[in-house]
Structure 1
């Protein structure tokens, strides 16, 4: 499974034609304690770079953007009951949604792990 990152601090795991999306550990650490997550509905069509979800913390509310275009096939219902999963396991159990990939070519502009680490080191 390949993992990519955006400059808005989303991660995306690609497995065949399906992608799982969440926010990075860096993002959750900047937000602080997560108290609410608004996720897209199954069947929603997302466009790369456009709003996909909202995450609210004790500090602020932030938009989460779609790293690629596609149709939402599942939202992480566990976050409804326990939004703190985004803090405790941001890049595993705290995933936001899964989508079917509309255009794999959109992955070309995303960063790999080492490029993302360099990006964060420069912030």
Structure 2
């Protein structure tokens, strides 16, 4: 995987040029605790980088999920909607949130790689 990370604790895997995969990071799900509900964006919605794309609720708190890159939502993870705990048990794979057709690939350059994000998360 070629993961990039946002300061809002989302990850994006843009290995597939047609549809980048987005989810929340291990750090985010650790901070939230047991996820009990996710509100996912509508397929077809076009959102800008930094826009709120959804909400994740846990037993401790609710948090917005932000767009790490601009683009059109092309798919949402229905399995996550049915079983929100996937965000805890497998946040970087089965617990993905949505797929986006990136409209500005240059935005990926402004995101952190795994090493930079690890240092950022450790100081958060």
Q: Same fold (TM over 0.5)?
A: yes
* Residue 18 of structure 1: how far off its partner (Å): 2.0
Alignment of 1:112 with 2:113, yes or no, is yes
Cα distance in structure 2, aligned partners of 1:75 and 1:98: 6
Gaps of 5+ in 2: none
Q: 1:53-85 CA distances to partner (integer Å, 9 max, x unpaired)?
A: 100000111000000000000000001210000
How many residues align? The count is 123
* Residue 17 of structure 1: how far off its partner (Å): 3.5
Could you list the runs of 4 or more consecutive aligned residues of structure 1 that deviate by over 4 angstroms after TM superposition? none
Cα distance in structure 2, aligned partners of 1:89 and 1:34: 12
Alignment of 1:87 with 2:117, yes or no, is no
Q: CA RMSD in A?
A: 0.9
Cα distance in structure 2, aligned partners of 1:25 and 1:113: 12
TM-score (norm 2): 0.96
State the partner residue of 1:17. Answer: 18
State the partner residue of 1:34. Answer: 35
Gaps of 5+ in 1: none
Q: 1:61-110 CA distances to partner (integer Å, 9 max, x unpaired)?
A: 10000000000000000012100000000111000000101010111110
TM-score (norm 1): 0.97
